[in-house]
Structures are given as structure tokens and as C-alpha cells.
Structure 1
Amino acid sequence: MAGMAALSAALPVGAELLSEADAKIDIAPYSLEVSRGRFLKTIAYNQQVPGALLRMQEGRPVTIDVTNHSGNDEIVHWHGMFLPPEVDGAMEEGTPHIAKGATTRYTFTPSPAGFRWYHTHTFAGRDLNKGQYTGQHGFLMIEPRENPARYDQEIFLALHDWRGSLLASDDGSMNPVYDISTINGRTMGFGEPLRVKQGQRVLFHVLNSSATEVHWISFAGHSFHVIALDGNEVPNPATVSMLRLAPAERVSAVVEMNNPGVWTLGEVRKHVMAAGMGVVVEYAGAQGKPRWDQPNDLVWDYLQFGTTVAVSVAETGAVEIPLVFESKFAGHGAMDRFTINGKSFPDTETIALTHDQRYRLIFRNKSTDDHPVHLHRHTFELRRIADQPQTRGILKDVVLVAGGTEVEVEFTASHPGLTLFHCHQQNHMDDGFMMLFRYV
């Protein structure tokens, strides 16, 4: 299968190719029409959800001006990129907030090539109209230096959940629930379908921009041939019946358009599909009601995309860093707390890294919650998931650590500066699930 060069295609409508000219992002209140006559008040980029697809050339410096008309201090995180901490987009690393009414200029050199994204990185707490609960997310594609290979069509899809409320679970924790779920800001059947032609090879880039929810996506009558995870080429591309994406994860997959008709692409779980998370895919000349084939099971395995091989820390020269995840529920409406090695941010330990040293992070999740953990400014390699065989070659920046399990990843400390590590579930991050690495 083609490598990272295969992740690019002809510039889609609505994309913006960044060169010497500045790009501009305006953060402001927006009324999003999710279905005919049904509007949600949110915060968005440039009066659209998702924000504009930005294309950058790997290694070519860019300048982006961001103006904040949201009414609150804001910040933009350039997720999945190797950037200095002062522009990465996390206050904890030292990137300044954008004050109300102010404009901030971000100047950086994009790297690495692949499917990235940009989004807010602010505290929301119990306010479900802030942070990742809003429409502040957009697609970001960094083109490789070499001439890209091309597919017949390239489609970007963002999964998102809206208008939540907080409910107490059996263990006393407070978790958001939602009554609207969308793809690219619209519910199933609203707006134009995705139009394809028989014989096309369509490259889908799927992003889960939800603040808290894992999503399972199937395409009736078709299969996904996964070629990249989090924008990084996988060593063993594989064909699957569905995709699973935790918050902030991305999957790039090719679909062979070999089954003419009108079909549904959407969430496998019935209640989420009923909340709107679906889109019609229509072949040229086809008519009729969209067809949906309900899968019987939820199926996903990271390791099918890697190479199974035992890898010891002695072989890689990695220094082990154990990180234990636990939860402490306050109850009675108080903020819950999540801990890393017994402490919640900002009291978590700041762990020292040596430049160019290899490290193996051992995630031990002793809580009952699943945690999609994200390491800023670096890419890590999956090594072990629960009791499954060890693996090599799967490069990511987010991995879902299921409740009560262990996951091991390795990375090289090659980007000096403060580096944030956190759960990408907004309520978990707000409840203390963050820590910093620092270089010495």
C-alpha cells in the first residue's frame, strides 16, 4: 500500500493552501444549524463547523493570525505537530492565552507530514458551552515534501457531540450525556450527501472531535482499508468493517466504491445514530432511501495494523516511566479528581527527560474509566496493549487505555521544552488528569 505520500489528493473545495500569505482564524459565537430549523449556539472558527481545512507544506514556515471574539480567553492547539512549546497551544507549556478581543500571531514550521487537527485547549469545568464541547475544531493536513500520490477523491469527516447535560454515574462521578451527534456539524439527512462514482478510490480522513465520547463508524455495503492512524502510516494496512475513534484520534482509510446505491455511513450504536451521527453516501445516478446494515458487534484492534514482535527495553535502550491512573470522586456536586501517580494537576510530578533518550511510558489504568491519553509535541510507538503480544511500527499521539488495563508506548525525547501529557477527555483533563515533562 502507498505510504505517507498517499495521504494527499487534489485540494478539496473549502481548503486553504498556506504559503507566504497569512491565514486568519476568527473565534466567535456562532449559531450552528444541525438540522433543518434546529440551531445550536456555540463558539466556532470563521463561522463554520468544523473550521476550514488548512493545508500546509512540511518544512515551509507559516504564519496564522487568530482573533478572539468569543468573550473568554482562548488558545489554539496544533494537535499532532512537532512545535516549540511557546506556540504548541497549551498554557501549561507556556503558550500565552489569547485575551478577549485580542489577536495572536502563530508562526511555525509544520512537521511532521500527515493528518493533524487544530482545536481549543481551555478549561471548561462543568460548563458544557466551553472548551471541546464547542465547535472549536478544524482539519489540518501537512503535505509531504515530495510530490503526493492522488486518489480519486478525498473526504474529511469530523464526529462531534452536542448539547450535553451532566449525570451522576453509579460510582458518583459526573459525566456528560448528549442528545445531538453530528458529522461535519450536521445530523443524518440534513444537507447534501457525499457524492461518489463507481470505481473510485476514496480516501476518508475521520476525526473524533468529541469532548468525551468514543465513536464506532461503519459504512454500509463497504469496508475501510486503514492506511494511517493519527496521520501516521501504519506498517500493516488492513481492511476492517468499522472504525473506532476515541476523542482526538484520527483514522485515514481508503474505500473502494464498488457497490452502487445510496448508503449510510455512521455510528454503529443505535442510540448515537438516532441522535444524528450519520451521513448519506450517494453513487452517481443512484436514487432511493439510504440503506443501513446494522453490525452485530463492536470490533477494533490497534495491533492488527502493526508487526507482532517482542521488544524489550534493553533492545531499544528505553528508560521506563510508570504512570498510574486513578480516580477520586468528591461527590455532592464537587469537582471529581483524576490522579497520575497519586497526584492531580497542578500538583502532579514534572518528570525530567534527557534529549535524544528513548523512554517507555507504562500506563497502568487503575480506574474504571477508559482514558484517551495524548502526548503533546511528540509521536509515540505502541509497544503493548493489555495482555496482547508486543508490537512495533504503530505511531500515534493518542491511545485509548481501557479501564483496569495497561498499555506501554515508547518515544524519543527529541523536541526540547515543556511537554504536556493528559487525558483528551475534556472532563477528565479538567479534573486533574494532566502532567508535564521537562527536558534537562
Structure 2
Amino acid sequence: MGGTHPFEKGQDPMINRRSMLTGAGAIGGLTALGGLIPAWAHSGSPGIPPAMNTLSSNNIALTVGRDRFSVGGRTGKAITINGTLPAPLLRLREGETFRIAVTNTLDEDTSIHWHGFLIPFQMDGVPGVSFPGIRPRETFVYELPIRQAGTFWYHSHSGLQEQIGHYGPIIIDPATPDPVAYDREHVLVLSDWSFENPARIMNQLKQEGGHYNRQKLTAPGLASDDPEQRMTLGERLRWGKMKMDPTDISDVTGAIYTFLVNGHGPKENWTGLFRPGERVRLRIINASAMTVFQLRIPGLAMTVVNADGENVRPVDVGELQISVAETYDVIVRPTADQAYTVVAEAADRSGMARATLAPRMGMSAPVPPLRPRPLLSMEDMGMGGMQGMDHGGMDMDMNMRDPANVPPDVQVGVGVDAIAPSPQDRTGHPGLGLTDVGHRVLTYRDLVSLKPNPDRRRPSRHLEINLTGNMERFMWTLDGRKFSQGMEPIRFARNERVRVTMVNNTMMQHPMHIHGHFMELVNGHDGYHPLKHTINVLPGSKVTFDMTADNPGDWAFHCHLLFHMHAGMFNVVTVRPLDGEPK
């Protein structure tokens, strides 16, 4: 449909709240922004009270367009929603139905996917799978019956638009009293921004997979005491023989990325306010294209209360790893009249996003230096189950390419450079470089659903999905096949209960996301497995989940690293029969 928004006259007045900060006159002497920031994301935010109406009417109008965005003294081209980056905060309510009219003013197709929503597949927003997309100068009306609560987000599923600003946060308030008590809340949207055109980034990765890695091991480093250079000559030679790099942790790095909190760069220091003694709920969303963050608040413990929009039993931690597309809600209780730095390091330690929690504007806390970047290990090569063997004399290159190791469903070709010989369950692992940091780090095994799992049936079958790729050629596949090669969809019968094991044969972590369903992460808490829409699969590991295929339709299943998905790590899950079809 074309023309104006059907809700234009009656839209919520918050829709057009936007502000441009220019020059050097920002409050408290903070570096000013040249981009458009939504009201909820302004630095010095007093918080988002639960009753605050922020695009929360049942009829909402959104416009996708192009704007200029500035950070760190430079200005680039962005895709925005209602003129802001990040997009407006949507505050919805469980049990109600919302109609959201999205108008496309771009010269290319666009879309909005409601990440983690349990909605009819026609409203899921994936072009070519659930709908045709939104063409230029047309409007599409999403009708969303809301049957869940928690912290979620929305983003484009068209091209590489996520990389240049097409994302925003969502809070769904529960229909019943919230079991999480808090006095104030802030939304923290983490993201990665580059002034390079995303198509150029993709081309560079295809030409040279490690193009953006500026932290490779050096020859002089052999004689250095630098912890970032630790590795013997023999170990380096074995890595070289395998054509692999132990520093290859992130495909796109701080070499070209500025890491943002609510659209603010590290020097711009987004600040969220609190009163000492309050319970402050931080709703943390990783809306980045390619960056896994490791988040901590020095001097302030965090209590994790929600993961991917689902409540979990509270667990106290000093740090957590949040992969692309995941969300975590944490409670912090600052009692002192002082500022605290929110540190979100990129997993490869090539940069950080930074923010501040403080009682008053103008306050700040020390910003710790970046920690030494980690190196990949035998576990990350899928050799964790071979500990104690003489790896010095082992031909690891042959071991990882031995045809005898290839699972029967994997198509071996140029798109598969290795098969993990002994992948292990690493759900108890805190994340790369976080095993010895001196404080407790959240692991997947710490997550326990607050409510019993709704379907207690035993799975009727077991499915294995292999995450495969060729890192040197930047080819990413499922079972050795790219989506563009005409893969067969993954088929589930409606209401079928299935156990799925994802095996990561690569040395990259992959945040795997399924649309329209939640995955019950099998982590040792039988009957109370955490429900997740995105599961990060560590290098050389395997992760198992149970799923009840109770939402009929065609659903995307893919790695949420944007460039991995576009390089081929994508498939369709089909659940049949549809409503009205014979069984």
C-alpha cells in the first residue's frame, strides 16, 4: 500500500521527539553529537519509568529514511527510523494487539523483523520468506498480537541495513505483576558503527578474511614479554600449517568500528542517572552487526534477572558476555554517591563501548584500559576432548580435515575448511578470554528459567546441524551448504518436539537465531531450561536445545553475525500444517 501513514493524525506525540546536539555545548562538558538521538537515549537520561508513554499506543507509525550520523568528529550516512539512531523505543503490553505502519522513504526495499516475537509468520518481516518486503515509497502494516513480555528489539532484515543504524529497542510490559522489582530502568543499546560502506566491508572480507585484524602475532613478539604475543614458535608453525590464525576472533574489529551505547561513542560518554540506594534495571541489547561484547561495571555487581526477554532465577555476576542479538536484564544497586563506568569490550579487545551511571551529570569514573586480547586454543579448534594427547607430534591439519571425521549430512567442498574432531559442550564456558579475570562471569549453565518449561514431553527425534565455513575465503555455511545453493528447508511437523544439536566446526563463535520460536537450552536444569531466541555457539563446541514447533509457517534460522548470514549461514525452518490445512 502507498501514501501516508494510516495512523498519521492520531499518532503518539512521542513519535516526533528528536533532538540534534551540535557544537561543544553539551551538558556537563560532554562531547556533543552531530546525529539525531531519540529522547530515551539522550545522555543524562533520568531513566524510563514503567508508565512512560514512548511510542506505546496501539497504532504506531514508523518511517524508514536516510540521515547523517556523526560520532567521534566524523559524519556518515545512516538509515534511521523516525529520524533517529537508534530507532524509537517501542513500549508494548502483553495481551494487546499493536498495529505498526512502516513507511519506506528509501530508494531500496526495507523491512522490520521483530526479534524474538512469537507472532504469525506473515508478520515476521523477512523478505522472501514471510513477506515480500517493503518497497520504496510504500507502507506495510504489521499486526502484532503480543503474548510475551520482556526486553526485545527490532531491526531490518533487508540487505546490510542493520550495519548503518536500522535497529531499535522494545520493552513489553507484562500483563501480570512483574516478578522483578526495580525503582528505575535504563535501556542500553550496544552497537558497532563504521564509516565504511557495508558492501565494501563485505567485499574486503571476501577478498581477505583477516583484513580487519590488526592484532596478529608478529615475529619480534617471539622474544617479547607481551602477553598478547604469547605462543611458541612450534605452536605458531602448526597454526600456520593449518592456515589458521589464533588471533582471528572477530571478522570486523575496532580497526574500523566505533562501539556505541545508545548512539553515543566512548568519548561522548552516555550517562544514565540514579539515586544512591535504588534498584536500577539495565535492559542491555546487543544490536551490533558483528561484535560480541563483554560487559562489566567495575565496583558494581550485577544480578542477571532476564535473558532474551525471559525471566531467569537471579544470579549475581561481575561480568557477562552478550553475543550479537542477545539481551540481558540486570539489576544493579549503587549505594555510594559516585559514578560507575559501564565497560563493554569487544571480545577481541580491539575497542570498547563505554557509558556512565551517576547520581548527577558531569560525574565520571575511571575508564579501565583494554585488557590483553585472547588467543584461540585447542578447545576453539574442537579438540577439547583430546586433552592430554601429544599435540606436538600430531598433524592437527590432517586431523581437522580427515574425511573420517565428516558427519554424514555435511557436504564437503571449498566451503568447509575444517571439521572439529572432538567438539565439546562448552555451555559452562564464560567466553573467550574470561576464564581467569578474578570475578564471576555469567555462563549459560547459570541460566535457570524462573517458570517450569511448558512442554515436558521427551523429544521424538534428534537433529544435528553443523555450523561450517572457510575462514580464509569468508564462506559460511550450514552442513557445508550456502542458502543460495538451494538448501532444503529444515522441516518440523506442527507441535513436534525435537532435540537439536548445533555443532560448531569453525573457530568463530556463531550467535544462532531462530525466528518465531524459543529454544530450550539444554544446560543441566531439566524442566527449567532457559528459553532463548539466540544461542551463542562457541568455537569448536556443540550446544543442544529442545524445541516445540508450535508456531506454523516459514521461519528464518541463521547466524546473527550480519556478514556471516549474508555469506550463506542461513536456512528456513518450515512448520506444517498451517492453520486451516489438513493434518
When normalised by structure 1's length, the TM-score is 0.85
Amino acid at match of 1:160: S
Question: What SS does structure 2 have at the residue aligned with 1:115?
Answer: strand
**C-alpha contact 2:63 2:105 (8 A) present in aligned 1:** yes
When normalised by structure 2's length, the TM-score is 0.65
**C-alpha contact 2:261 2:270 (8 A) present in aligned 1:** no
Q: Residue 317 of structure 2 aligns with which residue?
A: 240
Residues 372-426 of structure 1, C-alpha deviations (whole Å, 9 max, x = no match): 0001000111104xxxx56642111001111211000111111011121100011
Question: What SS does structure 1 have at the residue aligned with 2:481?
Answer: coil
Q: Residue 281 of structure 2 aligns with which residue?
A: 203
Q: Residue 133 of structure 1 aligns with which residue?
A: 163
Q: Residue 156 of structure 2 aligns with which residue?
A: 120
Q: Residue 95 of structure 1 aligns with which residue?
A: 131
Identify, as 1 or 2, the structure richer in helix.
2
Match of 2:535 among 399, 402, 405: 399
1:44-123 mapped onto 2 (5 Å cutoff): 44-123=80-159
Q: Residue 23 of structure 1 aligns with which residue?
A: 60
Residues 66-96 of structure 1, C-alpha deviations (whole Å, 9 max, x = no match): 1111221111000101111111011242222
Amino acid at match of 2:328: V
Question: What SS does structure 1 have at the residue aligned with 2:445?
Answer: helix
1:430 is the counterpart of 2:566? yes
Amino acid at match of 2:107: G
Residues 327-356 of structure 1, C-alpha deviations (whole Å, 9 max, x = no match): 13684xxxx432222321042221221121
1:310-329 mapped onto 2 (5 Å cutoff): 316-328=458-470
Alpha-carbon distance in 2 for matches of 1:270, 1:159: 13
Alpha-carbon distance in 2 for matches of 1:289, 1:351: 50
Alpha-carbon distance in 1 for matches of 2:347, 2:140: 43
**Post-superposition offset of 1:52:** 1.0
**Post-superposition offset of 1:314:** 11
Distance 1:276 1:400, change over 3 A: closer
Alpha-carbon distance in 2 for matches of 1:57, 1:15: 12
**C-alpha contact 1:262 1:289 (8 A) present in aligned 2:** yes
Alpha-carbon distance in 2 for matches of 1:288, 1:203: 20
Distance 1:14 1:189, change over 3 A: farther
Alpha-carbon distance in 1 for matches of 2:547, 2:48: 30
**Post-superposition offset of 1:14:** 7.2
**C-alpha contact 1:338 1:428 (8 A) present in aligned 2:** yes
Instruction: Give structure 2 stretches of 5+ with no counterpart.
Output: 1-46, 211-242, 372-432, 435-440, 577-583
Distance 1:12 1:188, change over 3 A: farther
**C-alpha contact 2:305 2:331 (8 A) present in aligned 1:** yes
Amino acid at match of 2:357: V
Distance 1:13 1:246, change over 3 A: same
Instruction: Give structure 1 stretches of 5+ with no counterpart.
Output: 1-7, 125-130
Question: What SS does structure 2 have at the residue aligned with 1:26?
Answer: strand
Residues 174-199 of structure 1, C-alpha deviations (whole Å, 9 max, x = no match): 93333311101111242662111100
Alpha-carbon distance in 2 for matches of 1:402, 1:223: 25
Q: Which has the higher contact order (CA 8 A, sep 6+)?
A: 1
Higher Cα radius of gyration = 2
Distance 1:66 1:291, change over 3 A: same
CA RMSD of aligned residues (A): 2.8
Alpha-carbon distance in 1 for matches of 2:525, 2:269: 45
